[in-house]
Amino acid sequence: MESSEPASGNDRFAPDLPGGGLPESAPAEQGSLRTVLIAFGANLLVAAAKTIAAVITGSASMVAEAAHSWADTGNEIFLLFAERKGSRRRDASHPMGYGRDSYVWSMFAAFGLFTVGAVVSIMHGVQQLSGTEPGGNFLINYVVLAVAFVLEGTSFLQAFRQARSSADRTGTRTLGFVMHTSDPTLRAVFAEDAAALIGLLIAGAGIAAHQITGSAVPDAVGSILVGVLLAVVAVVLINRNRNFLVGQAINPALRREILGQLLGHPDIDRITYLHVEFVGPNRVYLVAAIDLTGNLREDDVAVHLRRIERQLESRDAVEEAVLTLSTKDEPSLTT
């Protein structure tokens, strides 16, 4: 029996794209890199503007927003490292590749958001609860918040477009895709920019209440609320990165699809075991126990197994594929 190339359906499976085409890694990485760079530029400008406004006005909410933006700016640097380090292909010292490096650096970014953004904002807000300053230069705060909303909105729009494009190919909702995607940089930018926009609204409400009442308490409360918001986002991001670091399996629906596509291979008669887990953004490690069609000699079996493994590994999404033989008494897997 001569070996055949995989059925065309095998081109379709991808870790984050059930039902869509198997993506080339370069476009996906370029999209995430563009998203991070836009976020970095926007956060840097916003952080500088908020800092100046905080120094001039002494607003607690503006101090919290400045800390938030500086934390986000620093985080984008970590995310750039995540993109660069995680994109390296496997070598002798790292047989599973460097994809999990992305989750390590993204974890650092999440911790930075928590310590610099959340803790500083909450501490400053608590300190200002007893403040009696009447406040002033409210117009400066409003102008800076408005400019920041436009810049943060631009960054968020880029992340949203990337997420929605991928979500449309999966047939899932955008928010669901962001929460479950194996791309930590997209999730981080999307979550941080969404939190930034909400934080700007909270800060604006706190400053407005300060202006109306003459009391600094609403402004301080706004700072605390911004800190709590950042803490929640940071914890969610930390938990998602932790899940991928310890070994995140693909979702059941995608597992069934991959199983069906493997069963469609002309050289595979049945499958008794299938394990697929993420080893990086849009990259998986695949192990399967299969029964080849026909009754081949031992040497021919080894050749066919290696050939199918190479076919699978030719897909950018498959970091490594390991195939073994099924025994007769093992039950077959079905879709």
**Nearest CA to 274 among 288, 293, 295?**
288
Chain centroid offset of residue 19 CA: 20
Question: Does residue 19 lie within any of the structural domains?
Answer: no
For residue 59 the two structure tokens come to: 């607003």
Please tell me whether residues 188 and 287 are part of one structural domain: no
Predicted pLDDT of residue 124: 82
Please tell me whether residues 256 and 170 are part of one structural domain: no
Q: Residue 214: give its domain's CATH number.
A: 1.20.1510.10
Predicted pLDDT of residue 131: 61
Q: Which SS3 state, helix, strand or coil, does residue 233 take?
A: helix
Predicted pLDDT of residue 10: 40
Q: Which residues contact 56 (CB under 8 A, 6 or more apart)?
A: 137, 140
Tokens 């117009």 belong to 139
Please tell me whether residues 182 and 226 are part of one structural domain: yes
**Nearest CA to 200 among 40, 41, 37, 42?**
42
The residue among 247, 270, 292 that closes a domain is 247
- The residue ranking higher by pLDDT, 17 or 293, is 293
Please tell me whether residues 261 and 241 are part of one structural domain: no
> Does residue 333 surpass a pLDDT of 60?
yes
Please tell me whether residues 143 and 276 are part of one structural domain: no
Please tell me whether residues 237 and 93 are part of one structural domain: yes
pLDDT in tens, 317-328: 888 999 999 988
Contact 12, 19 (CB under 8 A): yes
> Does residue 32 surpass a pLDDT of 80?
no
Under the banding of pLDDT at 50, 70 and 90, the label for residue 134 is low
Tally of domains in the chain: 2
Q: How many CB atoms lie within 10 A of CB 180?
A: 16
What average pLDDT score do residues 3-22 get? 43
The residue among 247, 266, 294 that closes a domain is 247
pLDDT in tens, 189-231: 899 899 989 999 998 998 899 888 888 888 889 889 989 999 9
Predicted pLDDT of residue 20: 38
The residue among 192, 221, 247 that closes a domain is 247
Structural domain of 293 = 8-14+251-325
Please tell me whether residues 117 and 231 are part of one structural domain: yes
Per cent of the chain over pLDDT 70 is: 88
pLDDT in tens, 231-279: 999 999 999 999 999 988 888 888 888 899 899 999 899 999 999 999 9
**Nearest CA to 110 among 234, 240, 242?**
234
Average pLDDT over the chain, rounded to an integer: 83
Per DSSP, 249 falls in state: B
Q: Indicate the range of 99-113, 170-184, 288-302 predicted with least confidence.
A: 288-302
Single-letter amino acid, residue 37: L
Question: Does residue 85 lie within any of the structural domains?
Answer: yes
> Does residue 332 surpass a pLDDT of 50?
yes
Please tell me whether residues 276 and 216 are part of one structural domain: no
Q: Indicate the range of 11-25, 94-108, 127-141 predicted with least confidence.
A: 11-25
What average pLDDT score do residues 149-154 get? 91
Predicted pLDDT of residue 302: 85
Question: Does residue 197 lie within any of the structural domains?
Answer: yes
Please tell me whether residues 187 and 294 are part of one structural domain: no
Please tell me whether residues 76 and 147 are part of one structural domain: yes
Predicted pLDDT of residue 285: 92
Euclidean distance between CA atoms 303 and 132, whole angstroms = 80
Question: Does residue 272 lie within any of the structural domains?
Answer: yes
Buried b (16+ CB within 10 A) or exposed e, 116-148: bbbbbbbebbeebeebeeebeeeebbeebbeeb
Say what angle helices 184-213 and 138-170 make with each other, to 10 degrees. Answer: 150
Please tell me whether residues 320 and 184 are part of one structural domain: no
Question: Does residue 38 lie within any of the structural domains?
Answer: yes
Question: Does residue 292 lie within any of the structural domains?
Answer: yes
pLDDT in tens, 73-118: 888 888 888 888 877 877 778 878 888 999 999 999 898 888 888 8
Please tell me whether residues 148 and 161 are part of one structural domain: yes
Under the banding of pLDDT at 50, 70 and 90, the label for residue 287 is very high
- The residue ranking higher by pLDDT, 320 or 297, is 320
Question: Does residue 331 lie within any of the structural domains?
Answer: no
Contact 142, 65 (CB under 8 A): no
Question: Does residue 256 lie within any of the structural domains?
Answer: yes
Q: Residue 256: give its domain's CATH number.
A: 3.30.70.1350
Euclidean distance between CA atoms 78 and 97, whole angstroms = 19
Beta strands in 56-113 (DSSP E): none
Q: Which residues pair with 320 in a beta bridge?
A: 285
Taking the C-alpha atoms of 208, 209, 214 and 220 in order, what is their torsion angle to the nearest 10 degrees? Answer: -100
